[in-house]
Amino acid sequence: MITRITRSPRVASRLLGAGGVVAFPTETVYGLGADVFRPDAVEAIFRAKGRPQDNPLIVHVADTDQLARVAAQITPAAQLAMEAFFPGPLTVIVPRHPDLPLAVTAGLDTVGVRSPNHPVAQAFLRECDCPVAAPSANRSGRPSPTTWQAVSEELDGRVDAILKGGSSPIGLESTVIDCSRSCPVILRSGGISFEQLREVLPRIQLATGAVESEPARSPGMNHRHYAPTAQVQVVSGPHEVPPDQAATSAYIGLVGEGFTVKPHRVCVCTDLAEYARQLFRFFRTCEKAGVTRIYCQQVPETGLGHALMDRIRRAAEG
């Protein structure tokens, strides 16, 4: 398959409308989309990514009409969350519309919906005229792509098109909250923080061990994730980076002073938002530079720091 690279939301949407799979930019990361009502196209997303079949896809919508085609009900908590954070980096899980193919939700009776706040994504979704199922546009287990070039490195020849749209301004995935049951729960931290959500939904809780023991509440969270080829390790600062093997190691963090020996690649970020924006991109730069170990500075787990540490830890486990 030849992967077409385009700047035109209309061209990209036509390819999707013909049953193709199309990568597109969003404010979080690039997504790999297909028409939710074409099970063959949805199946092609799983094939292109090598994604486990039990991991549901997020459905992207341009407006409330599209939302009504995939959700059976907008619960009161979902309504509040959507009013506050749509469009934006939040995925809300609600009961699934009976017409929505089970291939999208991996057999679950719920669906995760999101409305991206990115001009190119919005233009693309409007042109598509159908809700678009889209996971991140990477091979399963790998870091999410935040540029079209990264998508191309992951999926060239495996998808119909890549819609170009600059680098993703947030750089980490959406926050996933389950609003299908009585008490809203954060299943994955992301672009909208716990603190922001709590202002709108005071009873919201972070998924804990207790919640995770419930059967398959968020299947995707158990899979290997975000791992570059280099080994990732958490450090409290540059002083903890071992001086041996500096030539093949790298560091990313907020503090840039205090190395015994400076590693081959160093990325010093001005704040948490820049750290989040750079993380996955830095992983890829390091891979290309032949780095074998990436040291990531630990940050306090408040605000965006929670999602950032979640991704770093998962990358380290991978």
Q: State the Cα–Cα distance between residues 94 and 101, nearest whole angstrom.
A: 15
Kindly state the smallest distance separating residue 264's Cβ from ligand AMP, in Å: 30
Q: Is the distance from CB of 39 to CB of 57 less than 8 angstroms?
A: no
Please report the beta strands in 103-178, taking only residues with DSSP state E, as ranges in sequence order.
Answer: 110-114, 132-133, 161-163, 175-178
Q: Which structure tokens are listed for 143?
A: 């870091």
State which of residues 136, 147, 189, 297 lies at the interface with Mg ion (CB under 5 A): 136
Q: State the Cα–Cα distance between residues 7 and 165, nearest whole angstrom.
A: 7
Distance of CA 23 to the CA centre of its chain: 13
Residue type, 305: G
Instruction: Find the binding residues for ligand AMP in span 199-218 (CB under 6 A).
Output: 218
Q: Which structure tokens are listed for 239?
A: 């002083």
Is 145 near ligand AMP (CB under 6 A)?
no
Is 116 near ligand AMP (CB under 6 A)?
no
Instruction: Find the binding residues for ligand AMP in span 228-257 (CB under 6 A).
Output: none
Kindly state the smallest distance separating residue 239's Cβ from Mg ion, in Å: 33
In the complex with ligand AMP, which residue's Cβ is closer, 105 or 297? 105
Region from 55-63, 151-159, 207-215, 228-236 binding ligand AMP, contact rule CB under 6 A: 55-63
**x/- map, 60-99, ligand AMP, by CB under 6 A:** ---------------------------------x------
Helices within 106-236 (DSSP H only): 119-128, 148-155, 194-200, 209-212
List of residues contacting ligand AMP (CB under 6 A): 55-56, 58, 93, 105, 108, 110-112, 135-136, 173, 176, 187-188, 218-221
